[in-house]
Structure 1
């Protein structure tokens, strides 16, 4: 009896010791998880109600969910910490941990930035542009610009192919390229050089400043991006002519910026999640844009907006202006020319494939939907 009792007590002690260790491990794990939780200030360059700010939130939601909350992007609207055009500086300095915008906004620092936001109209679209970024050497050139040319403490990812952008909103219809001469017009990036080449007086404004300027007559016309954003910004309240089709921004995507020190401190798993969240959000943004932009274009028609296709004469004048802009800027900036040469080589091959492979959408549409 004594021996059995001793054995039982020893077994009990061993069990309690093991259980205690297991319990300690169970309690410690949440503490470790909490220690690894990181919250980043992630500001967009868009107003709260703009669909672009929604896209920024869609990306952040994927990161937050896939990391199980261990990395949380706290999404802020333009101006919450810094104005839209100061986003890159704030991320570089660590004032913001990350942000959502377009690289054309940094055009004033080096015009090559706009090649990664508003590249020349080479017959490609934004999906093809993103193909170049990922498989045609685009990221190598972008990282060279950021790291070596500009010495910036940032990491950038590109996500979300934008549909071709409208020519813009005007008080009266533009019928020829000469109508741009002397026109006070808002745009950004290389499109500013393009429209100046066509004779316009260009003003560069952030999204929230455009409609007030148009209303006061400070500008005569403006483009922002798409029917949904333009509707929210209130363009239809101050102008009724909305001209679609243009070569000024035919292949743009969003730029996701991160402070390099903060990004490098992430685990390999978290870095991968951020990258793949950007790719997943890219597809979702494309799907959502097709749905929302088409609905909102019909809504604008219902509000009395006159939706007009840009005349071919203006489109041809834009292409001729691109020739001059690229020649001028390429002669001034060897790196700019290097990027354009890479884009042209890619587009020459890939667009040729798309043109010969893809049947005309208009032919099929007319067959089914036009009587």
Structure 2
């Protein structure tokens, strides 16, 4: 079955036969939406998720429902994407929920919290563990509803001008780092900076910042960070995953015909899966090229990891004591994470650990 036929069939719930002229095309209204992204077009994998989504929506409606995707700064700056949806400036956006922790720290759970869930876990929590319903209940007061819009997987720890040999080396460090992770860095003496993706390189090049985290090898290579900071640290403890999000203006989403709402959900699921597949396929080659080009891979020292983990838990307890919505979601995420790792310890980790060692032996 051709891709277009498959998508048409998926939108009507029929995935066993090609649908030459689906019923949706016979009575569907013409709809034109705008989607503002928090990301530049040069980041084809992360920006491309919104394009994949828009293309699928068009395919499943025979072009009746068109979504025009705009890069960061074409309509609004990247970190104002959600605000544009709230204000009905645009119908939807593609962004990361944790960019908006300034509104409420509970926003972090839509993307990632330090030492939280990995990519498979957050998808399981969203889609089966009640997480999506819980988050959308929270988002209601901001006039938006959310669907998962991709994932990067576990991220790298970022690019540093100097080596990090102990937790003391974080003192005074000016680092581009998003969300709650910035608050954790600050408690350890660092100076967090929230900078949109397209503005990170010049800040690092000019020395405005000493270090920067973004995503991982494929995107980091495109942005050229290795040219201005040679030490490449791992893991990104603040992002065991980074879930991206499609946010929709509630009124605009509710105005859609039920069929179109189903199309939107189906397209979001496809884009969510495709982004992770893209990163998993492209990161291995990129990290080889970066290392061959002189990047110095470094693991964060154990005392850095332990200190960050301790401060993270202290911060979560403090926020929970003041913010009932945060506590409700945090308790659910922590329970889901701990149960998931019980299972991963038995099977997933054991298998992966063996295969990594086998590869190191030349297997």
- Do Structure 1 and Structure 2 share a fold, with TM-score over 0.5? yes
Change (3 A) 1:369 1:232: same
Which residue of structure 2 lines up, in the alignment, with residue 304 of structure 1? 294
- Residue 194 of structure 1 contacts residue 248 of structure 1 at CA under 8 Å; is this kept in 2? no
Is contact 2:173–2:189 with CA below 8 Å preserved after alignment? yes
Task: Give 1:241's match in structure 2, choosing from 231, 256, 273.
Answer: 231
**For 2:280 and 2:358, how far apart are their aligned partners in 1?**
21
Partner of residue 17, structure 1: none
Measure, in 1, the Cα distance between the counterparts of 2:125 and 2:212. Answer: 29
Q: 2:64 aligns with which of 56, 59, 70?
A: 70
* Distance in 1 of aligned mates of 2:319 and 2:91: 32
TM-score with structure 2 setting the length: 0.88
Q: State how far apart, in whole Å, the 2-side matches of 1:213 and 1:318 are.
A: 25
Distance apart, 1:369 and its partner CA: 4.3
Alignment partner, residue 114 of structure 1: 108
**RMSD of aligned alpha carbons:** 1.9
Aligned partners of 2:232, 2:24: CA distance in 1, in Å? 55
Q: Please report the TM-score for the alignment, with normalisation by the length of structure 1.
A: 0.86
Number of the residue aligned with 1:49: 42
- Looking at structure 1, the residues matched to 216 and 80 of structure 2 have their Cα atoms a distance apart, in angstroms, of 23
The match for 2:176 is 186
- How far is the alpha carbon of 1:137 from its aligned partner? 2.2
Structure 1, residues 289-318: CA drift from partner, whole Å, max 9, x if none?
111111211221232111222222222222
Once the two structures are superposed, the pairs formed by residues 135-154 of structure 1 within 5 Å of their partners are 135-147=128-140, 151-154=141-144
Which 5+ residue runs of structure 1 have no aligned equivalent?
Answer: 1-28
More moved, 310-319 vs 254-263? 310-319
Aligned partners of 2:25, 2:297: CA distance in 1, in Å?
Answer: 58
Unaligned 5+ segments in structure 2 are: 1-22
Offset of residue 365 of structure 1: 2.5
1:364 aligns with 2:358: no
Question: 2:167, 2:98 → 1: CA distance?
Answer: 24
Give SS of 2:142's match: coil
266, 270, 275: which is aligned to 1:280?
270
Closer/same/farther in 2, CA of residues 360 and 178 from structure 1, 3 Å limit = farther
Tell me if the contact between 1:91 and 1:97 (Cα under 8 Å) persists in the aligned partners.
yes
C-alpha distance in structure 1 between counterparts of 2:159 and 2:35, whole Å: 31
1:96 to 77, 90, 101: 90
**For residues 121-140 of structure 1, what are the structure 2 equivalents within 5 Å?**
121-122=115-116, 124-140=117-133
Q: Is the 8 A contact 2:25 2:64 kept in 1?
A: no
Question: Aligned pair count?
Answer: 338
Rounded Cα–Cα distance in structure 1 between residues aligned with 2:106 and 2:290? 35
Residue 183 of structure 1: how far off its partner (Å): 0.8
Residue 260 (structure 2) pairs with residue 266 (structure 1) = no
Aligned match of 1:165: 155
Answer yes or no: is 1:209 the counterpart of 2:199: yes
- Mapped to 1, the partners of 2:268 and 2:24 lie a distance apart of 28
2:134 and 2:189 map into 1 onto residues whose CA distance is 31
Q: 1:71-129: per-residue Cα shift (whole Å, max 9, x none)? A: 1111111111111111111111221111111001111111110122122414x312101
2:10 match: none
Q: CA separation in 1, counterparts of 2:168 and 2:351? A: 31
Following TM superposition, the consecutive aligned residue runs of length 4 or more in structure 1 with deviations greater than 4 angstroms are 29-33
Distance 1:30 1:333, change over 3 A: closer
Q: Deviations over 1:4-35 (max 9, x none)?
A: xxxxxxxxxxxxxxxxxxxxxxxxx99976x7
